[in-house]
Amino acid sequence: MGNSFTKRRHNRDIILMQGLSNSGKTSMLFKLRFDEELQVVDSLRESIDIHGMTLTFWDLYGREKERPMIRIYYSMTKGFIYVIDSSDGEQLDTALEELVQYILLDEETAGTVVMVLANKQDIPGAMTALEIQEALKEKYNFSSSSASAHTVFVRACSVKTMEGVNEAFEDFAEQLQLRDAGKVRRGLLPLVGDEGDVKDGKHGTFDTKDQKESLARAKVKKFLKNPFCLFKVTE
């Protein structure tokens, strides 16, 4: 029988969706869950089946005053999806500052998977995933010892066109599975496909995966299928 600390750690089963107001959290969750454009609500809690898992997402309001208080849910959280409006260059600094202060530097989030979504890629002039990743690296020292506490990765997407959204959530679920299987990848993971390419001012497409990534996936699938493998609890 575990003590209350152990119990609390093992009870982590929600995914928090965070990000500044207007970044696209609710529309994203609504479209994933109901395949419709959102018009009416600004916060949702929904369970979605992804990659053979049922994940419960809590999309919380992006209102400024409430954002620091979201940490009361951190002890129940196993992953974060941090949504950024890539078309809003003026707010990027604030968005990344909050990601660092409220999530990455909070000890309660250690061991979680953090996906940063560079949303609204359909808007001309939107910052690329690479640009956002570089800006994040300037804010947060990923080679510090505390940086290895998380699995962090950046993906580009557009809720409007749904480009990159399903793929990003699949990747997220896969990282959670890896974590649960004791095969945790720590620190900042590389971008996939040609997300990093910015040629002639154009953004890359979001759906190509590079060979290394698919090799890694194949290995994980093999590992997960092994009936003799013991699933290690990593927290």
Ligand X SMILES: Nc1nc2c(ncn2[C@@H]2O[C@H](COP(=O)(O)OP(=O)(O)OP(=O)(O)O)[C@@H](O)[C@H]2O)c(=O)[nH]1
* Stretch touching ligand X by CB under 6 A, among 22-30, 102-110, 140-148, 189-197: 22-30
Asked if 18 touches ligand X (CB under 6 A), the answer is no
What angle separates helix 211-225 from helix 165-180, to the nearest 10 degrees? Answer: 50
CA distance 216 to 223: 11
Asked if 27 touches ligand X (CB under 6 A), the answer is yes
* Stretch touching ligand X by CB under 6 A, among 145-153, 157-165, 169-177, 217-225: 157-165
Q: Which is nearer to ligand X, 46 or 122 (CB)?
A: 122
Q: 100: Cβ–Cβ under 8 A, 6 or more apart, which residues?
A: 136, 139, 140
CA distance 51 to 93: 33
CA distance 181 to 225: 11
By CB neighbour count within 10 A (0-12 exposed, 13-18 middle, 19+ buried), where does 212 fall? exposed
Asked if 150 touches ligand X (CB under 6 A), the answer is no
Q: Is 193 annotated as a binding residue?
A: no
Select from Mg ion, ligand X, none the partner in contact with residue 155, using the beta carbon and a kind-dependent cut-off of 5 to 8 Å. none
Q: Is 219 annotated as a binding residue?
A: no
DSSP helix, strand, coil percent of the chain (3-state; round to 5): 40, 20, 40
Asked if 26 touches ligand X (CB under 6 A), the answer is yes
* Stretch touching Mg ion by CB under 5 A, among 22-30, 90-98, 100-108, 157-165: 22-30
Asked if 160 touches ligand X (CB under 6 A), the answer is yes
Q: Is 62 annotated as a binding residue?
A: yes
Asked if 26 touches Mg ion (CB under 5 A), the answer is yes
Asked if 159 touches ligand X (CB under 6 A), the answer is yes
Question: Which amino acid, one-letter code, is at 191?
Answer: L
**CB count in 10 Å sphere of residue 17:** 27
Q: Which is nearer to ligand X, 103 or 149 (CB)?
A: 103
Q: What is the dihedral of CA 60, 161, 178, 23, to 10 degrees?
A: -30
| Residues of each annotated binding site | 19-26, 43, 62, 119-122
**Binding positions for ligand X, rule: CB under 6 A:** 19, 21-27, 42, 61-62, 83, 119-120, 122-123, 158-160
**Binding positions for Mg ion, rule: CB under 5 A:** 25-26, 42
| Residues of each annotated binding site for GTP | 19-26, 62, 119-122
